[in-house]
């Protein structure tokens, strides 16, 4: 069944007249369907009638700093603590508690106004006290960083995402891979293992001099991008504001024109491209490579031209990522995601494109489910649950997945789909679950 995107009205998914390009061997290795397997209805570009559907492209949309409970507690209808095993619809995921047991407070309504007004402390040191060894009781009552505003559930402002969750596949046991801030978690998209704590470093990259953090670093370890490059598989990271930053730096300065809808009104944070939002900017082999580092405007161009890479990552300017505080509106993030989905579904790539929408970390907001034990690979503690939604005609429509996953699961999926075997980075990609529980089972992508 072909999945529509309720965020985008008046548009139908466009069937391909042919594959937009050739990208290695989709479906190969231990993550692909067996030859001749019946993996779903053929598209116009799928060859013979009854030919298996193929994942030719994956697009990873990375938003910021919201826990599963903060966004989906009021959508899920399963009783708190019931640990449902069913997998179809809102009754198969748990509501968050209606009261914080440690303080007696009730959750704040999370909407544009409250999101814009408050950024919880989300350093590792603070979040460890909130998680409190899995008791999840320090978000309000912790003496070091507790705050009643940390205990917040989204209202119908989130209806567009709730609609997507209902029609796509929602993971309710997808955890941020390490307790702490965005950059440390983003690194798992590139390396599938721990690299540094919190937002300790900026990369040695275009735009670093225009950011607040002046501690820069560069690494030479292999990333999933290096593996793709070696295998001849196309990839790109599309960043909003990247072209403007390039132009400003080439002129010897930093951007001076702040977008009119960016409330924080700063070219050093929130309103301009920040290279720390791209984990591949930290690596010498990939940093600012024009073949792979692209302005977000190029995403629509590549879709229209039939040159969408096999693997794509997308990051908005900070004020459109839904990051709490600084005047940032949830609806601005939803609108950005809506635009990306509209571009995809209006392209020839739509029938063979998997979209994964996730958030980099929980941002210090409350979640009631205890994280797993620290990883045996890098010994780092897991953080809170964050949402992940698989979208498009290749997603497992209407499903709630309870499989434990994280950002490294996406790396494992990319390895299995395009590189023939998993664990090639010798990180968590050797042990985490794959994302098959979010996908149409006819695709044959494993769940582990």
Span 219-232, pLDDT tens digits = 999 999 999 999 99
Sequence-distant (≥ 6) Cβ neighbours of residue 159 within 8 angstroms: none
Are the C-beta atoms of 309 and 135 separated by less than 8 Å? Answer: no
Mean of pLDDT over the chain: 90
Would the pLDDT of 21 be above 80? Answer: no
Which among 158, 3, 176 has a CA at the least distance from the CA of 75? 158
Sequence-distant (≥ 6) Cβ neighbours of residue 42 within 8 angstroms: 48, 49, 50, 51, 52, 53
Instruction: Assign 148 to helix, strand or coil.
Output: helix
- pLDDT the model gives residue 267: 63
Which range has the worst mean pLDDT, 39-43, 185-189, 269-273, 408-412? 39-43
Would the pLDDT of 4 be above 70? Answer: no
Alpha helices (H) along 305-406: 330-345
Would the pLDDT of 22 be above 50? Answer: no
Are the C-beta atoms of 62 and 314 separated by less than 8 Å? Answer: yes
Would the pLDDT of 171 be above 90? Answer: yes
Distances (CA, A) of 107 to 5, 141, 305: 30, 13, 47
Which range has the worst mean pLDDT, 177-186, 255-264, 355-364? 255-264
In this predicted model, what pLDDT tens digit does every residue of 299-350 receive, in sequence order?
A: 999 999 999 999 999 999 999 999 999 999 999 999 999 999 999 999 999 9
Instruction: Assign 428 to helix, strand or coil.
Output: helix
Question: Distance (Å, rounded) from C-alpha 441 to C-alpha 77?
Answer: 25
- The secondary structure of 51-87 as a DSSP string is PPP---EEEEEEE-S--HHHHHTTT--BPTT------
What pLDDT band is residue 266 in, cutting at 50, 70 and 90? low
Would the pLDDT of 196 be above 80? Answer: yes
- pLDDT the model gives residue 48: 43
Instruction: Assign 213 to helix, strand or coil.
Output: coil
Share of the chain above pLDDT 70, in %: 88
Are the C-beta atoms of 265 and 271 separated by less than 8 Å? Answer: yes
In this predicted model, what pLDDT tens digit does every residue of 105-161 receive, in sequence order?
A: 999 999 999 999 999 999 999 999 999 999 999 999 999 999 999 999 999 999 999
**Averaged pLDDT for residues 404-426:** 98
What b/e string do you get for 78-95 counting C-beta neighbours within 10 Å, with b at 16 or more? beeeeebeebebbebbbb
Beta-sheet pairing, 388-391 with 353-359: antiparallel
In this predicted model, what pLDDT tens digit does every residue of 347-393 receive, in sequence order?
A: 999 999 999 999 999 999 999 999 999 999 999 999 999 999 999 99
Question: Distance (Å, rounded) from C-alpha 207 to C-alpha 255?
Answer: 9
Between 3 and 334, the more confident residue is 334
DSSP label of 372: P
Instruction: Assign 254 to helix, strand or coil.
Output: coil
Would the pLDDT of 5 be above 80? Answer: no
Would the pLDDT of 26 be above 50? Answer: no
Question: Distance (Å, rounded) from C-alpha 283 to C-alpha 362?
Answer: 25
What pLDDT band is residue 37 in, cutting at 50, 70 and 90? very low
Give the CA-trace dihedral at 321, 323, 328, 329, to 10 degrees: 70
The pTM of the full predicted model, rounded to 2 decimals, is 0.90
């Amino acid at each position: 069944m072909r999945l529509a995107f309720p965020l985008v009205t008046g548009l139908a998914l466009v069937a391909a007249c042919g594959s937009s390009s050739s990208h290695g061997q989709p479906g190969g290795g231990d993550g692909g369907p067996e030859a001749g397997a019946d993996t779903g209805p053929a598209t116009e570009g799928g060859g013979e009638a009854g030919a298996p559907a193929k994942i030719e492209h994956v697009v990873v949309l990375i938003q910021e700093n919201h826990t599963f409970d903060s966004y989906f507690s009021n959508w899920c209808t399963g009783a708190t603590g019931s640990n449902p095993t069913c997998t179809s619809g809102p009754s198969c995921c748990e509501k968050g508690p209606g009261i914080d047991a440690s303080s007696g407070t009730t959750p704040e309504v999370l909407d544009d106004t409250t999101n814009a007004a408050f950024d919880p402390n989300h350093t590792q040191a603070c979040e460890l006290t909130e998680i409190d060894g899995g008791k999840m009781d320090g978000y309000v009552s912790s003496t070091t960083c507790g705050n009643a505003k940390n205990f917040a559930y989204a209202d119908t402002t989130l209806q567009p995402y709730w609609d997507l969750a209902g029609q796509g596949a929602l993971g309710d046991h997808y955890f941020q891979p390490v307790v702490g801030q965005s950059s440390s978690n983003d690194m798992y998209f590139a390396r599938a293992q721990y690299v540094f704590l919190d937002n300790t470093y900026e990369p040695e990259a275009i735009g670093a001099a225009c950011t607040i953090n002046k501690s820069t670093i560069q690494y030479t370890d292999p990333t999933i991008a290096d593996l793709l490059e070696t295998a001849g598989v196309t990839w790109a990271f599309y960043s909003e504001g990247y072209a403007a930053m390039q132009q400003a730096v080439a002129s010897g300065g930093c951007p001076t024109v702040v977008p009119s809808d960016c409330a924080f009104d700063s070219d050093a944070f929130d309103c301009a491209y920040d290279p720390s939002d791209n984990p591949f900017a930290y690596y010498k082999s990939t940093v600012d490579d024009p073949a792979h580092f692209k302005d977000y405007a190029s995403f629509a161009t590549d879709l229209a031209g039939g040159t969408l890479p096999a693997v794509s990552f997308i990051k908005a300017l900070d004020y459109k990522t839904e990051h709490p505080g600084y005047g940032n509106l949830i609806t601005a993030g939803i609108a950005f995601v809506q635009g990306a989905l509209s571009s995809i579904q209006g392209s020839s790539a739509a029938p063979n494109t998997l979209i994964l929408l996730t958030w980099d970390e929980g941002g210090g907001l409350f979640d009631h489910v205890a994280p797993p034990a620290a990883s045996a690979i890098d010994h780092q503690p897991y953080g809170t649950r964050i949402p992940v939604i698989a979208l498009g005609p290749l997603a497992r429509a209407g499903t709630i997945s309870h499989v434990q996953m994280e950002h490294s699961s996406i790396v494992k999926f990319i390895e299995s789909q395009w590189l023939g075997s998993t664990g090639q980075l010798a990180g968590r990609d050797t042990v985490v679950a794959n994302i098959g529980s979010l996908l149409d089972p006819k695709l044959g992508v494993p769940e582990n």
